[in-house]
Amino acid sequence: MDYPWGHDKRYNDFSTYFRKKFDGRVQKVSVDAGFSCPNRDGTKGTGGCSYCNNKTFKPGYCNLEKTVTEQVKEGIDFFARKYNSMQFLAYFQAYSNTYAPLKNLKALYEEALQHPKIIGLVIATRPDCLNEEILDYLGELSLRYYVMLEFGVESHRNETLRRINRGHSYEESAWALKETARRGIHTCAHLILGLPGEGYSDFIDQAKSISQLPVENLKLHQLQIHRGTQLYKDYRQNSDGFHIFSVGEYTDLVIDYLEVLNPAIVVERFVSEAPAEMVIAPKWGLKNFEFVAKVEKRLAERDTWQGRLFRQ
């Protein structure tokens, strides 16, 4: 059976989509350009989001002592050993990568694009770290390169966003996604399942809500408690206030989520991986591809697929 996305996988998966879009292998190369965040530098708050520890996802070649050019080269050299024909996207990942004056952003982005194997940018940021001027510039850039803005949305509930010290509202996320898409820039939304105070009905409502926005790619992940975060302190004081998913429970939740999710949305991931020594809970010991295999098996067992229950 072929599904609306044109192949027989039971969800609209990222790897198939990307291979088809670029007619070959494309790899993201992470870049740390030294950005900060408005709820770290005092503009909106200090301490950052309660769950956030950027050390959990920063590759070793990302080092602020190295220039963007050096980081891009090292990242490309690392991956190009396997595939000589591979192309690359510069992934500005750590903190809020549109949180600077436009002239600074231009210099950093265009430095990355100078490498002949870089065909575009993926820029992780917050919905409240954009303005019309930056969006217009990125819209113009997207006429020549692949450009995606990856937004930390995290939850559709403003109460939750306040509780985790996020510093912006869901309405701001909706605005940012709509304005980005209106300019022809690709979009990705990042959401967490299992934040304190949320339950099953909230997760399903989240899938329905995000399905009504111009989201091209979606990154989901389970709530993880990382060392060195405010959430870790909260968890130590009152672990009963947290629901930590088992693998089986989270797998079934993902299936339920997919069933109501817009089938046009490409699902980039279901889980987050972090260095084992930094993770307090849940300790699953699974790689991303191992969890994907569980999702695919469970979709087949339940004879269901992404968007089966989706309503426009």
The residue type at 40? R
* Distance separating alpha carbons of residues 205 and 196, to the nearest angstrom: 16
Mean pLDDT, the chain, integer: 92
Which range among 74-88, 128-142, 273-287 has the greatest average pLDDT?
Answer: 128-142
Sign of the C-alpha dihedral, residues 163, 217, 256, 213? positive
Within a domain: 142: yes
Within a domain: 218: yes
pLDDT score for 39: 81
* Distance separating alpha carbons of residues 91 and 150, to the nearest angstrom: 10
Structure tokens at 40: 């770290």
Within a domain: 311: no
Could you give the percent of the chain with pLDDT greater than 70?
96
Q: Specify the long-range contacts of residues 100-108, CB closer than 8 Å, at least 24 apart.
A: 100/35, 102/133, 102/134, 102/137, 105/134, 105/137, 106/137, 108/33, 108/68
* Distance separating alpha carbons of residues 280 and 244, to the nearest angstrom: 11
Q: Domain range spanning residue 181?
A: 14-301
Could you give the percent of the chain with pLDDT greater than 90?
73
Mean pLDDT (whole number) for 256-269: 98
At residue 285, does pLDDT exceed 80?
A: yes
Which class for 32: exposed (0-12), middle (13-18), buried (19 or more C-beta within 10 A)?
buried
Q: What is the CATH number of the domain that holds 138?
A: 3.20.20.70
Number of other residues whose CB lies within 10 A of the CB of residue 67? 14
* Distance separating alpha carbons of residues 52 and 36, to the nearest angstrom: 13
The residue type at 279? V
Within a domain: 308: no
Structure tokens at 219: 């990154």
For residue 267, the cross-strand partners are 13, 218
At residue 65, does pLDDT exceed 80?
A: no
- In this prediction, residue 149 has a pLDDT band, given cuts at 50, 70 and 90, of very high
Which class for 147: exposed (0-12), middle (13-18), buried (19 or more C-beta within 10 A)?
buried
At residue 62, does pLDDT exceed 60?
A: no
Structure tokens at 170: 């869901």
At residue 173, does pLDDT exceed 80?
A: yes
Within a domain: 129: yes
Mean pLDDT (whole number) for 274-299: 93
Within a domain: 210: yes
Span 179-232, pLDDT tens digits: 999 999 999 999 999 999 999 999 999 999 999 999 999 999 999 999 988 888
At residue 302, does pLDDT exceed 80?
A: yes
Mean pLDDT (whole number) for 124-153: 97
At residue 57, does pLDDT exceed 70?
A: no
pLDDT score for 258: 98
Mean pLDDT (whole number) for 253-266: 98
Q: What domain count does the chain have? A: 1
pLDDT score for 241: 83
pLDDT score for 53: 72
| Of the listed ranges 13-22, 104-113, 209-218, the one predicted with least confidence | 13-22
Mean pLDDT (whole number) for 144-173: 95
Task: Please give the residue that has the higher pLDDT: either 237 or 291.
Answer: 291
- In this prediction, residue 63 has a pLDDT band, given cuts at 50, 70 and 90, of low
pLDDT score for 60: 53
- The runs of H, that is alpha helices, within 211-303 are 230-237, 247-260, 288-301
pLDDT score for 2: 82
- In this prediction, residue 54 has a pLDDT band, given cuts at 50, 70 and 90, of low
Within a domain: 207: yes
The residue type at 289? F
197's CB contacts (< 8 A; 6+ apart) are: 157, 159, 160, 163
Within a domain: 256: yes
